[in-house]
């Protein structure tokens, strides 16, 4: 399970337009090439390229980028073959933790300006990058989880109201079904990483239903999957899916045959194939690739997944883009220094796609 942090006050739809602040940096002319392994394709890759352009202009370092959704397996294969990338950008850090403990990652404590990092980053983000008290991971952007996307026009046409509580969400589901519609689209396919959209649902429910102490023990491996709290979360997700997945457009077959990026397509058909779609803030970059392209605020809006328990009001999961040095070179050091700056992080944030800058 990836390391994730909680936020206790959900940032509203304005998350799509946040910007960073802080100082910029220049590493001077270095030249050469930095080889990066990551997951970004399409519009996300376009945004990453935009982030890289000032770095290349400042340093003369060329970018060689390899994209894969099977990142964990590809990374481990490259390392085992003695041909690791210089830098890896990963959406989760389970494998990175194992590699760090095996001595396959480069500690950053003497590679970055830690005093500047402490000044510009929140303590939680720095601590999340530490493994056995050494800094290995730099977080550059984050995405909010537990966001429910919907078409406000479709809601208005049916007289549906955005639910503010879990009970209201259950009532809305029942109303949509009684009107002959399907409440949800759920898409679980992501090549070798298929299934993670389902675990995102589960994580949100565990945190909201049982609280941060249980959640933290769970991802740390100290809370058994068979414990009552974790099993209860599966039951609660069953309330969303409905008996026999009856609340989901296309049922099980649709869920296991549709890529997560296409999961929101059903919101925009006429009539809608579904009325709600749960996914992180980054999903807007995939919406941008739909034909016709939906417009934020007009064709889609967002609300936070309501609290399962009022004892944990506003608790939501945040996932970070984690960067590590897998081969120590002047180019890889310069790249991570650049990615830690507000200048770099602000570029992607301003381009949209639901990214939040970590540099405060």
Length of the chain: 360
Question: For 213-228, how does the pLDDT look when each residue is reduced to its tens digit (9 = 90+)?
Answer: 999 999 888 999 999 9
Closest CA to 3 of 225, 324, 339, 319: 319
Contact 319, 21 (CB under 8 A): no
pLDDT digits (tens, 9 = 90+) for 87-146: 999 988 889 999 999 999 999 999 999 899 999 999 989 998 999 999 999 999 988 999
pTM: predicted TM-score of the whole model, two decimal places: 0.82
Burial class (CB in 10 A: 0-12, 13-18, 19+), 92: buried
Whether the predicted pLDDT of 178 surpasses 70: yes
- Which residue in this structure is represented by tokens 């008290």? 133
Cα→Cα distances 338→23, 128, 359, Å: 11, 19, 11
Angle at CA of residue 167, ends 212 and 253, nearest 5°: 85
Give the separation between CA 235 and CA 309, rounded to whole angstroms: 14
Q: Which domains does the chain have, with CATH numbers?
A: 5-144+318-357 (3.40.190.10), 147-304 (3.40.190.10)
What is the rounded distance in angstroms from the CA atom of residue 326 to the CA atom of residue 136? 10
* Residue 156 predicted with pLDDT over 70: yes
Reference 352, options 306, 304, 293; nearest CA is 293
**Run of H or E residues at 33:** strand 33-38
Residue 15 confidence class, pLDDT cut points 50, 70, 90 = very low
Helix axes 330-339, 342-351, angle to 10 degrees: 60
Q: 232-281 pLDDT, tens per residue?
A: 999 999 999 999 999 999 999 999 999 999 999 999 999 999 999 999 99
């Amino acid at each position: 399970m990836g390391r994730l942090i909680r936020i206790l006050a959900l940032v509203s739809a304005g998350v799509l337009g946040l910007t960073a602040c802080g100082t910029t940096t220049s590493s001077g002319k270095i030249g050469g090439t930095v080889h990066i392994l990551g997951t970004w394709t399409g519009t996300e890759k376009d945004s990453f390229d935009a982030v890289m352009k000032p770095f290349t202009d400042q340093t003369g370092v060329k970018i060689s980028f390899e994209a894969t959704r099977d990142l964990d397996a590809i990374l481990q294969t490259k390392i085992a073959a003695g041909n690791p990338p210089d830098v890896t950008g990963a959406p989760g850090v389970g494998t990175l933790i194992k590699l760090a403990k095996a001595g396959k990652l480069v500690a950053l404590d003497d590679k970055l300006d830690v005093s500047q990092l402490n000044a510009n980053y929140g303590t939680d983000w720095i601590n999340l990058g530490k493994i056995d008290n050494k800094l290995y991971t730099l977080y550059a952007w984050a995405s909010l989880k537990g966001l429910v996307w919907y078409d406000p026009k479709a809601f208005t046409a049916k007289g549906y109201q955005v639910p503010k509580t879990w009970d209201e969400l259950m009532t809305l589901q029942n109303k949509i079904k009684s009107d002959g519609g399907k409440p949800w689209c759920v898409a679980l396919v992501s090549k070798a990483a298929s299934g993670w959209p389902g675990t995102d649902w589960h994580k949100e429910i565990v945190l909201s239903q049982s609280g941060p102490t249980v959640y933290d023990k769970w991802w740390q491996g100290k809370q058994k999957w068979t414990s009552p709290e974790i099993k209860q979360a599966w039951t609660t997700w069953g309330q969303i899916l409905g008996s026999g997945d009856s609340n989901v457009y296309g049922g099980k077959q649709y869920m296991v045959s549709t890529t997560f990026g296409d999961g929101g397509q059903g919101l925009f058909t006429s009539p809608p194939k579904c009325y709600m779609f749960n996914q992180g803030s980054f999903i807007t970059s995939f919406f941008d690739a739909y034909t016709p392209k939906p417009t934020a605020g007009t064709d889609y809006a967002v609300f936070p997944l309501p609290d399962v328990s009022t004892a944990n009001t506003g608790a939501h999961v945040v996932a970070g883009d984690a960067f590590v040095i897998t081969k120590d070179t002047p180019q890889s050091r310069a790249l991570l220094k650049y990615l830690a700056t507000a200048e770099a992080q602000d570029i992607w944030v301003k381009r949209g796609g639901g990214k939040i800058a970590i540099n405060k």
